[in-house]
A and B are shown apart, each in its own frame.
Chain A
Amino acid sequence: MKRLSVWIVALAVTCWALPAGAVSVAVGVFGGASIPVAQEDNGTGSELGIRVPVNVIPLVTVEPYFLKANGGDKSEDLGSLSITRSGIDVTGYGANVLFSFGGPLQFYPFVGIGSHKLERPGLDATTTAYNAGVGVGFKAPIVKLSFHVRAEMSAVLDEGNTESSRKWANVTAGVSYGLLSFPPIP
């Protein structure tokens, strides 16, 4: 049900922006640090992913994504023992909506929703994620490449508990390649 609702929201966001003129589609990869926020049982890890920005109207880009993050271990000294808890690994997909300002150098806040799976020994939960952040992008002239740096806060609801979430601050860098443009630029 949650997965269905994520897709419905992503589809609704896409349809909301579709009745526009030119459409461009790109594909990108990104990677960076995934830093737990206020999580005393989880450590800093890394994140990698792909995204497909679809620019539907001049200022709005809808961007489906898929990501994998490996959480860092967390150690605790208890008595004479040093106890280690494995970090939380995250696999997720969803869509962000970017509101872009600027020219070749763009600034864009974004919000999004996804379905993220959290895994470590004793934890296997799939639940809804809410994303919000800001990014800076630079579109290279002539070649169809653009470069991006983003800071994002991702809050993943606890399974079966809408009052509580785990949060990560993700700092990533990425590159996108323009695949298609409709109508084609002469």
Chain B
Amino acid sequence: MRSYRRVFPVLALAALVASGCFVATGQVLVEFGLPSPFTIDSSSDPFARIFVDLNTIPDYEKHKDSLKGLNDFALVGKFTNMSGPAGALEVWVTAGSTNYTTIAEVQANATRLWGPGAIGAAPDVHVVSWDESSKLFTKAGKDILLQEARGDGDFTLYTFGTAGTYQVKVEDGFLILVLSAGP
């Protein structure tokens, strides 16, 4: 009887040690608000450049030194097609602060992070949900986000349309990150 009483805590302890104390981690929700509203217009302002500094988010600041991973991502918001045909939006990312001036430059130097997220012909209004959005992230883009979240938390997003002609307004846009953090 006495030996069995010893077996249980020893097994539990061995499992914890073998797994590197993963048990103490938790999932923390971090939201970064995009400028609201912003509009991308193929004729005058074909893409939006958004500098993201995660250090401005208190929950990120609190946990950034104990990050273990990135569990989930989403880019949500209300997308309104002001004029033009049905099309799609894409979001590209670069590490750090960059300042590309054309879509061609962005596509040549940045990494596609999210999309294409479809939107109907004007005047379609589409609220991009968390579930819908989380399926549109690319592996390469996620890797950059994880690297930046574990680094200085500073990166740049570029948003533009894929149709030849577009004018899309984005309201209440948020980048959602679920961080895995622990001691």
Chain B residues lying within 8 Å of A130, measured Cβ to Cβ, are 15, 19, 23
**Cα distance A162–B180 in the bound complex, in angstroms:** 12
Contact in complex: B135, A164 (CB < 8 Å): no
Given A79-B174, A99-B7, A163-B25, residue A158 in contact with residue B69 (CB < 8 A): yes
**Cα distance A79–B4 in the bound complex, in angstroms:** 56
B76 lies within 8 A of chain A by Cβ: yes
Chain A residues lying within 8 Å of B15, measured Cβ to Cβ, are 111, 113, 130, 132
**Cα distance A113–B101 in the bound complex, in angstroms:** 53
Q: Which of B5, B36, B68, B129 contacts A163 (CB 8 A)?
A: B68
B162 lies within 8 A of chain A by Cβ: no
Closest to B137 in A: A122
Contact in complex: A84, B129 (CB < 8 Å): yes
Chain A residues touching B, majority SS: strand
- Give A127-180 interface residues, CB cut-off 8 Å to B: 130, 132, 155, 157-158, 161-167
Tell me the minimal C-beta distance from A51 to chain B in angstroms. Answer: 19
Contact in complex: A78, B172 (CB < 8 Å): yes
Contact in complex: B174, A123 (CB < 8 Å): no
Contact in complex: B71, A158 (CB < 8 Å): yes
Given A79-B36, A109-B8, A130-B15, residue A155 in contact with residue B178 (CB < 8 A): no
Contact in complex: B19, A41 (CB < 8 Å): no
Tell me the minimal C-beta distance from B63 to chain A in angstroms. Answer: 11
B104 lies within 8 A of chain A by Cβ: no
Interface size on A (CB < 8 Å)? 39
A42 lies within 8 A of chain B by Cβ: yes
Given A79-B172, A83-B129, residue A162 in contact with residue B72 (CB < 8 A): no
Binding site for A on B (CB under 8 A): 1, 4-5, 7-8, 11-12, 15, 19-20, 22-23, 25-29, 31, 33, 36, 68-69, 71-72, 74, 76-78, 127, 129-132, 134-135, 137, 171-172, 174, 176, 178, 180, 182
* 6 pairs of A and B residues whose beta carbons are closest in the complex: A38-B26, A122-B134, A79-B172, A164-B68, A40-B29, A164-B180
